[in-house]
Structure 1
Amino acid sequence: MKNYSLDFPDDFDLEERIWEAKGWITLTITYKNQNFELNFYDPVRLMQTINDDLHSQQYFLEQNLIVIPNINRLNIENVIQDLVNHDKFIEILKIKTGS
């Protein structure tokens, strides 16, 4: 039994290939009555975002950043399962404001 909930967009399964092509997604996980907003990127999109931010604002900053090979349900759920299995990983996440 899962001890967390993950808020995928309603159309995620139908449009998973589109999300994978975009290379990033922000999802909210609820774990132990706390909400965490997680930012998933694939390495290619992350480098594009970093370069764009460095060019426009001279720095890159992203809260609760998780880099995975591809943006898909399997990779995301594997990361989340690993996070909830290791409290030390959850402890480094910033709680979503207003949760």
Structure 2
Amino acid sequence: MDYRIEWPVPMDEYDWAIQQARGWLAVTVAWEGGRRAVEVYDPARLAQSVAVELDRLGHFTARDLLVVPSVTREHVEAAVSAIADEDFFRRR
């Protein structure tokens, strides 16, 4: 599947270092005929977010969640490529 990742803003090395430290990033994956927002987390940040939502709301939900070892451009691109090959973005 041909796709493109739409990053939130043009990101330089400093911006990527901040995103990696935060452990979370929202991106959009676009392809001919569609687009889908994806939330990208590292495992530690995801665990923190789940714990906060459980305390606050008593449950956690996430749509189009992608967990990578670390929120770096390389990990995000590799994961998106892998799930695009599995037609993840065309499924609902």
1:86 is displaced (CA, Å) by 1.7
Q: Which sections of structure 2, spanning at least 5 residues, go unmatched?
A: none
Q: Which sections of structure 1, spanning at least 5 residues, go unmatched?
A: 95-99
SS of residue paired to 1:61? coil
1:9 is displaced (CA, Å) by 2.7
Question: Which stretch has the larger CA shift, 18-27 or 6-15?
Answer: 6-15
2:29 matched residue in structure 1: 29
Structure 1 segments of 4+ aligned residues over 6 angstroms from their partners: none
Q: Provide the C-alpha distance between the structure 2 equivalents of 1:75 and 1:90, rounded to a whole number of angstroms.
A: 17
Q: Provide the C-alpha distance between the structure 1 equivalents of 2:78 and 2:89, rounded to a whole number of angstroms.
A: 14
2:55 matched residue in structure 1: 55
- Give aligned-pair identity as a percent: 25
Instruction: Give TM-score scaled by structure 2 length.
Output: 0.89
Alignment of 1:1-99 (within 5 A): 3-14=2-13, 15-87=15-87, 89-92=88-91, 94=92
Instruction: Give TM-score scaled by structure 1 length.
Output: 0.83
Q: Provide the C-alpha distance between the structure 2 equivalents of 1:9 and 1:44, rounded to a whole number of angstroms.
A: 22
